[in-house]
A = this chain, B = another copy of it.
Amino acid sequence: MYTVTVRDHFMIAHSFRGEAFGPAQRLHGATYVVDVEFRRATLDESGMVVDIGRAGEVLHATLGELNYRNLDDEPAFTGRNTTTEFLARVVFDRIVAAIGRGDLGDGARAVDSIRVTLHESHVASAGFEGRVSAAP
């Protein structure tokens, strides 16, 4: 299995509902440093998993939809706790959708699975990984 991973980040405000979250029930925020790993069994004819330049651009555009926002005000997340693991799934779904639209090029449709990791600090991170074909 071959892999390519690109990194970028976004910065948001949000709050959580539920006693388990303690002081994180208050409005606060986070920087998420995001790694997206693309996985496939064979390389394309150029020797690539995906075009790493386009992968970086697609990740940047995907995170741009979330960056510098208060997630409590985003209609897409109404009624949901935007935990780090939940947001990893959001990024996963949007990257898979970008592949489906051809934003990473036709070859990227051969990507088998993707792992998204969001680092929220030097001591905590969360992620989601799944098959591209299993995305909604």
Q: Is the CB of B9 within 8 A of A122?
A: yes
Chain B positions within 8 Å of A101 at CB level: none
Q: Is the CB of A126 within 8 A of B2?
A: yes
Q: Is the CB of B28 within 8 A of A68?
A: yes
Answer whether residue A29 sits at the interface, using C-beta atoms and an 8 A cutoff: yes
**0/1 string, A9-42, CB within 8 A of B gives 1:** 1011110101011111011111111000000000
Q: Is the CB of B68 within 8 A of A24?
A: yes
Query: What's the least CB distance linking A70 to chain B, in Å?
Result: 4
Answer whether residue A62 sits at the interface, using C-beta atoms and an 8 A cutoff: no
Q: A30-B31, A124-B52 are in contact. Are A67 and B23 (CB under 8 A)?
A: yes
Q: Is the CB of A47 within 8 A of B83?
A: yes
Query: What's the least CB distance linking A19 to chain B, in Å?
Result: 10
Query: What's the least CB distance linking A69 to chain B, in Å?
Result: 6
Answer whether residue A112 sits at the interface, using C-beta atoms and an 8 A cutoff: no
